[in-house]
């Protein structure tokens, strides 16, 4: 390793390549015809088109939110391609053998080989490429347990009852500007249903890849865990290096019934833009889980290292008595990245419990904001919350904001929030260096320690990936 | 009060202000324009999202004059209680005959100071600049008639604290009082100031009080504010402090009165090495809404700020705390800490807290913490196991909770007075406590 | 091994060390004693390279090289070890992981192969016996939640694992009960060798009952005011530091 920090920056974002593939895209811009085009492409039933159009009309009435700390030039919503899919000969691949070799190669390069025999046993993958799901592995095996794991498009066609019941039930169309937009134009994503009493035997995961230029990705994920079931779901994302910003506005809805538990982990590594802040993904995402039944549990873990701008607040509505919500987050911003992220824990049920652990790291010109809400309504007797938000600053042009809100409306509840902001402790650095470690290694070690509480909540193979990513995204940040 | 009434009142009062200097007119007009442009804060304003103004807006408050009703006998009692350096401001007017002031300390009505000491007033009035313009601050600038001007020259130690009682004694309902105080402490000087806001009768009114404090190099001011007006009063106040090199400001705010009382403590650490300690406590019951806001602006290196606030909420009352710390890029080596603790006494009480850190410098040590809950069951059990009744156990623990702020605030001088005020309010709160 | 000449050091504009001369040969054990505030800890931290201290005058030569030209980690890799008086805790960083990284840095500096996880564990188990440390230590974050005695033993474990040429122990005896002190002293004694030198910095003579020094120096007011053999320590214990002043 060299001591010249600039040399690290020359190292390219390793996932920044473009797959040379012909694609089938909607015309640029957004109007009702675009939505009809998407719906038709996906051979959706009538109810879906009606839902999309209603969402579109709602969206037209809404304003882009301006309350967050992130700043970006105005987005021209008519200059985005809302649908792009790799060109297919027939209706779509029936099995992996029919998937375009270029696409398979892409996922291999990303470290996600789709051929099942090569997969680490125990992880089923839904691979989403631009606007469509290209493959879902282990479907048959999961079916034996009654688990449905498929692309969202397929779910709309095959399981319309479940979609109609749950779609928009946690994140209503009018929830916010980006959620409304997503509801109108969402292209693909994953759907997952775990039946009563089933513990999902393997990790489920979706790998999102944006490939086409000027394309927005609007995925929709819905996970329903029925009574007494449990599932662990992972999400990963990358995109090619492009000079122009690209919009990613996803919606994720989780529903946990009585005694069910959902663990949702994200390692977000969208292209972050270059050193000067040019290009990169605008990651405007609405993620929310409903702990509907008693003793249900939803746990969000996120490692956010990519994107030019991140705007997301994975939240929990703790409706069932004794339900549990968790949010573990590491957000790293380097160069000109901005992140405004956090969570909402809405305590509605009695004896509900939430934990928030947020670690923000800002390097160079990075801007990091934690924004959170803990709300305990009068009915939520004996609710508990514990929040810890720590920010680490590296470089005198970096910044960190901490904006929590606590609203407690009953006297048996308890909420606790603690936050700190500081730079790396000089004495810790000295101690490590006195034991022979270089400054880079010492910082890397201290930063990993700082994030430990979050990493330990990730599934094993993701934890390793997250640590590596953290190292990569902070490279060159130490002057 | 609506914008139309605002404008009418402005035009009416303007006529009586022909004698005012042009700099003041410019200041007032700027504030008027700001208010007309922005009006009262809307609910989507982050600093107001937990403070509902609709009850206030519905009442026909109209800025104007008001006369005193209180008897001289009652005033004498107040005076005797206070001792040295006592100042009475009644309905906005400095009552010299009831005030005693240490020689060398300059105290006068603000309207008098504007005439007599423009060289001291003009550079300071409205120049605190913390967080820019704000609706109630603008209203105060437009309508203030009087208040107190307090000046301590360089290198002087004022031995006895200056104790000011602001007594509002309106002749009819829905009166308004716009008080503006200006405190200028010269380089190397040391002083203490206590402001107490009282109601002379049970009528409701709109009380607006802005105190601006300027601390010269190495100057020190200990500040205490007590607001215990009657339960129909709407009290909107702010203390805005500008700190120069290595100066130090410490404050303690006790809020117990008012239908709605909102107190803002703003401190701008404008030069290197300044330090401020903001502390406070509020106790609410009935339908009260007590709202404490803080804003500490670290602009230059090596500043220190410590904030410690607590709230006890009973009945249907509501407590709000919104504390913001900004550390600007220049303000390296800043040490900024904030703590808020809220205690809920009843099922219907609620509390909203918004601590905020905005850090733009990297070599800093900053933290904030919030804890909201009720009295520890274990502690109550412990006291009861020693033979103390449940209610008394609760009172003792609540008192202990409140006293911690006083102990930490270094307001020893006022300790006894504060404790008796707290005890008085606590017994009201616990009297209303259900379950 | 180490030669310090006319060393002047200040921190935040205040001069703490006002001309120190000290020569430590290979295999020697030097004890530096002195009252509180005499500059003992400053000396240890300057030798290790703490960035807060500024050398205003003088030099230190370590194995023929200018010590003050070397970054902190380079001094460590060249065999200079400081056992801290107050070892800092590093939350979230596993003790074993930390030690492995340090040991491998030393091995790399010596041109040796790095140890893998298994080899390292074997290696460490051996070392742990010398300081009577429980294996559970390895899985805890560095120094976090350690008692005073545990922190000191952890320092000695690191000393054993990194096998430095020059070990500087800053008040390693403070805050230890007699049993812990014995364990630590035995650990140090086992590590004594003709190739390894020690500088023991201490306020009390207590530790010197268990580790016999070759030389004793008295540091007062930022200067070495008296040097002698091991007997000097006993004399100090008996008569106190005031006695030195009177002489």
Would you tell me which residues 337-376 of chain B have a C-beta closer than 8 angstroms to some C-beta of chain A? 342, 344-374
Cβ(A188)–Cβ(A178) under 8 Å?
no
Q: Which residue has the higher pLDDT, C91 or B233?
A: B233
CATH code at C141? 3.40.50.300
Show residues of chain A in contact with B46, CB under 8 Å.
67
Coil, strand or helix: which one is B26?
helix
- C93/A448 touch (CB, cutoff 8 Å), yes or no: yes
Task: Give the nearest chain A residue to B341 (CA atoms).
Answer: A416
At residue A1 the predicted structure's pLDDT band, cuts being 50, 70 and 90, is: very low
DSSP alpha helix (H) spans, A346-457 = 426-434, 439-455
Record: contact A391-B368, CB cut-off 8 A: no
On whether residue A464 sits in a domain, the answer given is no
Q: Which of C186, C215, C185, C210 is nearest to C199 (CA)?
A: C215
Counted domains in chain A: 1
Range of the domain at A205: 5-423
Instruction: Provide the β-strand partners of residue B357.
Output: A402, B325
Q: Can you tell me the mean pLDDT for C108-120?
A: 89
Long-range contacts, stretch C226-235, CB < 8 angstroms, 24+ apart? C230/C31, C233/C31, C233/C33, C233/C205, C233/C208, C234/C205
Give residue B395's pLDDT: 85
Distance of CA A124 to the CA centre of its chain: 18
For residue C224, list its beta bridge partners. C219
The pLDDT confidence band at residue C183, using thresholds 50, 70 and 90, is confident
Q: Give the span between the Cα atoms of B394 and C81, in whole angstroms.
A: 56
Residues of chain A contacting residue B376, judged by C-beta atoms under 8 Å apart: none
User: Contact A405/B364, CB-based, under 8 Å?
Assistant: no
Both tokens assigned to C93: 């960083």
List subunits contacting chain A, requiring 3 or more Cβ pairs under 8 Å.
B, C
pLDDT of residue A5: 32
Please compute the mean of the pLDDT values over residues A11-23 and round it to a whole number.
72
* Chain C residues lying within 8 Å of A357, measured CB to CB: none
At B104 the pLDDT is: 78
Nearest to B276 by CA among B239, B319, B310: B239
DSSP state of B42: P
Does residue B278 sit within a domain? no
Q: pLDDT band at residue A244, thresholds of 50, 70 and 90?
A: confident
- pTM value > 0.90: no
- The per-residue pLDDT for range A266-298, each reduced to its tens digit, is 988 888 888 888 888 899 999 999 999 999 999
In a domain, A468, yes or no: no
Which of A391, A404, A410 is the closest to B347 by Cβ?
Answer: A410
Answer yes or no: is pLDDT of A3 > 60.
Answer: no
pLDDT band at C240 (very low <50, low <70, confident <90, very high): confident
Alpha helices in B117-175 (DSSP H): 118-121, 135-143
**Candidates A406, A413, A414, A429, partner chain B, best to mutate (most B CBs within 10 A):** A406
d(CA B401, CA A352): 26
> DSSP letter string over A323-355?
-EEEEEEEEEE-TT-EEEEEEEEEE-STT-EEE
Q: What pLDDT, on a 0 to 100 scale, did the predictor assign at position A94? A: 61
Task: Return the structure tokens found at B402.
Answer: 């409140």
Query: Domain range for residue B177?
Result: 3-271
- Residue B119 resides in a domain: yes
Interatomic CA distance for residues C201 and C31, integer angstroms:
6
CA-CA distance, A390 to A392, in Å (whole number)? 7
- Residues of A in Cβ contact (< 8 Å) with C48: 430, 434
Angle at B28 between CA B24 and CA B34, to 5 degrees: 145
Which residues on A lie below 8 Å from B365 (Cβ)?
422
For chain C, say whether A428 makes contact (Cβ under 8 Å).
yes
- Sheet strands (E) in A89-244: 123-129, 132-136, 148-151, 190-194, 203-209, 220-225, 230-238
Tell me what pLDDT residue A9 has: 32
Which chain C residues contact residue A453 at CB under 8 A? 92
- Which residue out of A347, A404, A411 would a mutagenesis test of the B interface target, given it has the greatest number of B Cβ atoms within 10 Å? A411
Q: Tell me whether residues B367 and A398 touch, CB distance under 8 A.
A: no
Q: Which two tokens stand for residue A184?
A: 């109108």
Q: Which helix (H) or strand (E) holds C155?
A: helix C148-162
Between CA B317 and CA B351 the distance in angstroms is 9
Phi, psi of C155 (to 5 degrees): -65, -40
In B, minimum Cα distance to A373 occurs at: B354
A423 touches chain C (CB under 8 A): no
Average pLDDT over residues A413-420: 96
Please tell me chain A's helix, strand, coil percentages from 3-state DSSP, rounded to the nearest 5. Answer: 25, 35, 40
Q: Is the pLDDT of residue A318 over 60?
A: yes
Question: What's the gap in Å between the CA of A316 and the closest CA on chain B?
Answer: 19
Evaluate whether residue B249 is within a structural domain: yes
pLDDT tens-place string over residues A73-92: 899 999 988 888 877 655 55
| CB-CB under 8 Å, A427 with C92 | no
Return left, alpha or beta for C94; rule: phi > 0 is left, psi -120 to 50 is alpha, else beta: beta
Q: How many domains does chain C have?
A: 1
pLDDT higher at A475 or A413: A413
* Contact list, C11 vs chain A (CB under 8 Å): none
A450 touching C (Cβ < 8 Å): yes
A-facing residues of B in 376-395 (CB < 8 A) are none
Strands B335-344 and A384-394: unpaired
What is the pLDDT, as a whole number, of residue A117? 40
Chain A residues in contact with C53 by the CB 8 A cut-off are: none
Residue B75 token pair: 């005033």
Model pLDDT, residue B434: 43
Inside any domain, residue A434 = no
| B57 belongs to a structural domain | yes
Give the start-end residues of each E strand in B110-153: 148-152
Whole-number Å distance between alpha carbons of C62 and B110 = 71
Q: Do chains C and B touch (3 or more CB pairs under 8 A)?
A: no
Please tell me which residue of chain B has the smallest CA distance to A395: B362
Q: Which residues of C touch A437 (CB under 8 A)?
A: 73, 101-102, 105
- Determine the longest span between alpha carbons in chain A, in angstroms: 69
CB contact under 8 A, A436 and C106: yes
Residues of chain C whose C-beta is under 8 A from some C-beta in A?
48-52, 71-73, 75-77, 81-82, 84, 87-88, 90-93, 97-98, 101-102, 105-106, 109, 141, 158, 162
Statement: residue C131 has pLDDT above 50: yes
pLDDT for B435 equals 38
- Angle CA B420–B198–B3, to nearest 5: 140
Number of domains in chain B: 1
- Stretch A328-334: mean pLDDT, rounded? 94
Minimum CA–CA partner of A440 in chain C: C73
> Does B372 contact A397 at a Cβ distance shorter than 8 Å?
no
> Of A395, A406, A417, which is closest to B352 when you measure between CB atoms?
A406
- DSSP H or E run through B110: helix B110-116
Name residues whose C-beta falls within 8 Å of residue A434's C-beta, 6 or more positions apart in sequence: C48, C49, C72, C73, C75, C76, C81, C82, C84
**DSSP class of A26:** P
Residues in chain B with pLDDT < 50? Answer: 130-132, 433-435
Q: Within an 8 Å CB–CB cutoff, is residue A388 touching chain C?
A: no
Instruction: Residue C106: list chain A partners with CB under 8 A.
Output: 436
Q: What φ, ψ does residue C52 adopt, rounded to 5°?
A: -75, -20
The SS3 of residue C62 is strand
Q: CA nearest B142: which of B38, B234, B44, B270?
A: B38
Name the band, by pLDDT with cuts 50, 70 and 90, for residue A68: confident
Q: Check CB contact under 8 Å for A414 and B367.
A: no
Nearest to C93 among A433, A449, A453 (CB): A449
* ipTM of the modeled complex: 0.89
Question: Measured between alpha carbons, how far is A444 from A429 in angstroms, rounded to an integer?
Answer: 10
| Nearest Cα to Cα of residue A244 among A212, A268, A209, A208 | A212
Size of interface A-C (CB pairs under 8 A): 79
Reading the block at residue B373, the tokens are 């809950």
Residue C60 has pLDDT above 80, yes or no: yes
3-state secondary structure (DSSP) of residue A269? coil
The DSSP secondary structure of B221-246, one letter per residue, reads EEEEEEE---TT-EEEEEEEEEE-TT
Whether residue C48 has pLDDT greater than 50: yes
**A371 phi, psi to nearest 5 deg:** -130, 125
* Residue reference for tokens 């999400």: A235
Residue with the bigger pLDDT between B71 and C204: it is C204
- Determine, for residues B370 and A406 on separate chains, whether the beta-carbon distance falls below 8 Å: yes
Q: Enumerate the β-bridge partners of residue C53.
A: none
Say yes or no: A379 contacts chain B, CB-CB below 8 A: no
Q: How far apart are the first and last CA of chain C?
A: 31
Nearest to B357 by CA among B347, B365, B349: B365
Mutate to test the interface with B, among A384, A421, A423, A425 (most CBs of B within 10 A): A421
Q: CA angle A112-A114-A116, nearest 5°? A: 120
Strands (E), B218-377: 220-227, 234-243, 248-255, 260-269, 275-284, 289-298, 304-313, 318-327, 335-344, 350-359, 365-373
When mean pLDDT is compared across A240-249, B413-422, C57-66, the lowest value belongs to A240-249
Please state the φ and ψ torsions of residue B50, each to the nearest 5 degrees: -105, 5
Label residue A112 by pLDDT band (50, 70, 90): low
What's the CA angle centered on B308, arms B304 and B311, to 5 degrees?
160
CA distance B425 to A364: 51
- Please, are residues B46 and B295 in contact by the beta-carbon 8 Å criterion? no
Q: Which of B46, B367, B371 sits opposite A416 (nearest CB)?
A: B371
DSSP state of C67: G
Range of the domain at C213: 2-246
Residue B112 in domain: yes
pLDDT tens-place string over residues B281-334: 999 999 999 999 999 999 999 999 999 999 999 999 999 999 999 999 999 999
Tokens of A429: 């650095």
The CA distance from B415 to the nearest CA of chain A, in Å, is 29
Q: How many CB atoms lie within 10 A of CB B204?
A: 20
- Chain A's closest residue to C48, CA to CA, is A434
Chain A nearest CA to B355, separation (Å): 6
Q: Is B105 helix (H, G, I), strand (E, B) or coil?
A: coil
Q: CB distance A441–C98 less than 8 Å?
A: no
More confident residue, B19 or A119: B19
pLDDT of residue A97: 67
Rg value, chain A, Cα: 22
Give whichever of A161-170, B378-387, C231-240 has the largest mean pLDDT.
Answer: A161-170
């Amino acid at each position: 390793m060299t001591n010249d920090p600039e040399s690290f920056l020359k190292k390219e974002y390793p996932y920044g390549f473009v797959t040379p593939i012909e694609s089938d895209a909607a015309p640029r811009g957004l109007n009702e015809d675009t939505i009809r085009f998407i719906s038709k492409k996906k051979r959706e039933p009538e109810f879906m088109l009606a839902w999309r159009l209603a969402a579109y009309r709602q969206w037209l009435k809404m304003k882009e939110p301006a309350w967050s700390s992130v700043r970006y030039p105005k987005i021209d919503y008519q200059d985005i391609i809302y649908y792009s899919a790799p060109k297919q000969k027939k209706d779509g691949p029936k099995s992996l053998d029919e998937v375009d070799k270029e696409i398979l190669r892409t996922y291999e390069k990303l470290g996600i080989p789709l051929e099942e025999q090569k997969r680490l046993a125990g992880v089923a993958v839904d691979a989403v490429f631009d606007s469509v799901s290209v493959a879902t592995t282990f479907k048959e095996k999961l079916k034996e347990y009654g688990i449905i794991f498929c692309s969202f498009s397929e779910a709309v066609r095959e399981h319309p009852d479940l979609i109609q019941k749950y779609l928009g039930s946690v994140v209503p169309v009018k929830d916010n500007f980006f959620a409304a937009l997503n509801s109108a134009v969402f292209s693909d994503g994953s759907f997952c249903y775990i039946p009563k009493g089933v513990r999902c035997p393997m990790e489920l995961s979706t790998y999102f890849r944006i490939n086409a230029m000027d394309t927005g990705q609007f995925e929709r994920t819905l996970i329903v865990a029925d009574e007494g079931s449990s599932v662990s779901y992972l999400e990963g994302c990358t995109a090619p290096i492009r000079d122009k910003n690209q919009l990613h506005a996803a919606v994720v809805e989780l529903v946990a019934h009585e005694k069910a538990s959902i663990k949702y982990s994200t390692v977000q590594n969208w292209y972050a833009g270059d050193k000067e802040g040019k290009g990169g993904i605008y990651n405007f995402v609405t993620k929310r889980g409903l702990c509907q039944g008693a003793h249900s549990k939803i746990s969000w873990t996120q490692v956010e290292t990519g994107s030019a701008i991140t705007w997301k607040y994975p939240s929990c509505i703790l409706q069932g008595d004794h339900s549990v919500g968790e949010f573990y987050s590491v957000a790293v911003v380097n160069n000109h990245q901005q992140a405004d992220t956090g969570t909402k824990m809405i305590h509605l049920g009695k004896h509900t419990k939430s934990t928030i652990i947020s670690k923000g790291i800002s390097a160079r010109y990075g801007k990091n904001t934690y924004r959170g809400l803990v709300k305990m309504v009068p009915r939520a007797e004996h609710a508990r919350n514990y929040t810890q938000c720590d920010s680490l600053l590296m470089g005198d042009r970096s910044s960190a904001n901490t904006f929590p809100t606590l609203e407690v409306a009953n006297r048996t509840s308890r909420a606790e929030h603690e936050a700190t902001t500081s730079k790396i402790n000089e004495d810790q650095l000295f101690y490590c260096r006195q034991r022979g470690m270089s400054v880079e290694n010492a910082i890397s070690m201290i930063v990993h320690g700082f994030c430990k509480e979050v990493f330990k909540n990730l599934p094993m193979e993701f934890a390793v990936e997250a640590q590596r990513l953290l190292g990569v995204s902070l490279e060159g940040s130490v002057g | 009060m609506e914008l139309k009434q605002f404008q009418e009142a402005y035009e009416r009062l303007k006529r009586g202000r022909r004698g005012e200097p042009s700099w003041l007119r410019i200041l007032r007009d700027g504030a008027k324009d700001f208010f007309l442009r922005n009006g009262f804060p809307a609910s989507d304003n982050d600093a107001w999202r937990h403070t509902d103004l609709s009850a206030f807006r519905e009442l026909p408050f109209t800025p104007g004059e008001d006369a005193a009703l209180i008897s001289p006998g009652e005033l004498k009692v107040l005076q005797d209680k206070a001792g040295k350096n006592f100042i009475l401001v009644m309905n906005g007017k400095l009552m010299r005959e009831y005030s005693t002031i240490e020689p060398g300390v300059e105290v006068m009505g603000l309207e008098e100071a504007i005439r007599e000491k423009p060289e001291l007033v003009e550079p300071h009035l409205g120049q605190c600049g913390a967080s820019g313009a704000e609706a109630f601050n603008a209203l105060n600038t437009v309508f203030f008639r009087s208040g107190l001007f307090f000046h301590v020259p360089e290198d002087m130690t004022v031995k006895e604290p200056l104790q000011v009682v602001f007594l509002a004694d309106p002749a009819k309902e829905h009166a308004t009082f716009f008080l503006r105080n200006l405190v200028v402490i010269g380089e190397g000087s040391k002083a203490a100031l206590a402001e107490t806001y009282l109601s002379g009768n049970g009528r409701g009114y709109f009380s607006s009080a802005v105190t601006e404090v300027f601390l010269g190099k190495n100057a020190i001011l200990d500040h205490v504010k007590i607001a215990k007006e009657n339960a129909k009063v709407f009290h909107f106040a702010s203390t805005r402090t500008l700190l120069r090199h290595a100066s130090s400001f410490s404050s303690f705010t006790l809020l117990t009165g008012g239908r709605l009382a909102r107190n803002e403590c703003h401190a701008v650490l404008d030069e290197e090495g300044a330090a401020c300690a903001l502390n406070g406590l509020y106790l609410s019951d009935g339908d009260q809404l007590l709202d404490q806001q803080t804003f500490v602006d670290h602009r230059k290196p090596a500043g220190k700020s410590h904030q410690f606030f607590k709230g006890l909420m009973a009945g249907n009352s509501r407590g709000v705390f919104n504390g913001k710390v900004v550390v600007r890029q220049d303000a390296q080596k800043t040490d900024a800490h904030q703590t808020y603790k809220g205690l809920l006494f009843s099922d219907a009480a609620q509390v909203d807290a918004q601590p905020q850190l905005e850090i733009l410098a990297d070599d800093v040590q900053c933290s904030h913490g919030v804890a909201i809950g009720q009295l520890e069951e274990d502690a109550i059990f412990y006291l009861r196991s020693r033979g103390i009744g449940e209610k008394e156990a609760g009172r003792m623990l609540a008192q202990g909770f409140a006293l911690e702020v006083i102990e930490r605030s270094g307001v020893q001088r006022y300790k006894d007075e504060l404790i008796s005020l707290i005890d008085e309010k606590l017994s009201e709160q616990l009297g209303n406590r259900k379950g | 091994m180490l030669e310090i000449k006319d060393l002047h050091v200040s921190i935040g504009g205040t001069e703490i060390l006002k001309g120190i001369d000290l020569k430590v040969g290979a295999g020697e054990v030097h004890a530096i004693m002195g009252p509180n505030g005499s500059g003992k800890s400053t000396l240890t931290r300057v030798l290790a390279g703490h960035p807060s201290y500024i050398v205003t005058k003088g030099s230190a030569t370590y194995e023929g090289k200018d010590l003050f030209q070397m970054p902190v980690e380079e001094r460590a890799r060249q065999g200079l070890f400081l056992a801290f008086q107050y070892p800092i805790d590093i939350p979230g960083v596993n003790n074993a992981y930390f030690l492995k990284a340090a040991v491998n840095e030393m091995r790399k500096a010596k041109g040796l192969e790095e140890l893998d996880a298994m080899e390292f564990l074997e290696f460490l188990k051996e070392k742990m016996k010398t300081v009577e440390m429980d294996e559970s230590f390895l899985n805890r974050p560095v120094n976090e939640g350690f008692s005073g005695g545990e922190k000191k033993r952890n320092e000695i474990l690191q000393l054993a694992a990194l096998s430095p040429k020059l070990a500087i122990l800053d008040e390693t005896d403070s805050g230890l009960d007699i049993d812990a002190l014995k364990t630590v002293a035995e650990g140090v004694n086992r590590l004594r060798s003709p190739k390894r030198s020690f500088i023991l910095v201490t306020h009390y003579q207590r530790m010197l009952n268990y580790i016999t020094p070759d030389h004793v120096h008295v540091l007062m007011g930022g200067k070495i005011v008296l040097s002698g053999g091991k007997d000097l320590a006993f004399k100090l214990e008996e008569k106190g530091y005031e006695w030195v002043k009177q002489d």
